[in-house]
Amino acid sequence: MTIAVSPQALPALVLNADYRPLSYYPLSLWSWQDAIKAVFLDRVNIIAEYEHSVSSPSFSMRLPSVVCLKTYVQPSRNPAFTRFNVFLRDRFECQYCGAHDDLTFDHVTPRAHGGETTWENVVAACSPCNLRKGSKLPKQAGMFPAQKPYQPTVQDLHNNGRLFPPNYLHESWLDYLYWDTELQP
């Protein structure tokens, strides 16, 4: 799974005040318009620029490719329980068969058996595995998740997000991103 980034859109990588990306997945990007607005509102420092410029009758400016917030944004300690975050925690992989397509989420202990919709009871599952397991307990179905479900930290999600680099990374961003795979600029 990749996030589509259009190089023609000239997005700006957004770094927190500590020079780390606000998020890796999706990568923290702003449109060039939002980046320029933040510059004029004195909310960011420009770290790197594109060769492209924008102009008005009295002003010209190169478009920012990397901006850094002037005020540190405290990351949330506990990520929100969302379908996307469950998939990211489980690396977009069915926890029963390893498939990457047609993902849903499965209650390990089914709701029919008192299972709750919590981090500790929900895993990513492909539709065929989810249907096969149905409302059975793991032992009854003979299906056990590859990884015991757990509540991830923001750092866990960031680390997993690094496994899914976008389809395009501008060369000026590379000093601020730490991916686990070799990238083609």
Q: What is the pLDDT of residues 15-50, one digit of tens each?
A: 999 998 888 777 889 999 999 999 999 999 999 999
Distances in Å between the Cα of 130 and the Cα atoms of 13, 41, 87, 157 are 38, 49, 14, 23
Write the DSSP symbol of residue 97. Answer: T
- The band of 167, judged by pLDDT with boundaries at 50, 70 and 90, is confident
Better-scored residue on pLDDT, 146 or 4: 146
Backbone angles phi, psi at 176, to 5 degrees: -110, -5
Q: Is the domain 81-149 a CATH 1.10.30.50 member?
A: yes
HSE-CB for 133 with a 13 A CA cutoff: 28
The answer to whether residue 185 scores a pLDDT higher than 80 is no
Sequence ranges of the domains in the chain: 8-74, 81-149
Instruction: Evaluate if residue 2 carries a pLDDT over 60.
Output: no
- Which strands sit side by side in the sheet containing 59-69, from one edge to the other? 29-30, 12-15, 59-69, 44-56
> Model-level pTM?
0.74
Say if residues 157 and 185 touch (Cβ distance below 8 Å).
Answer: no
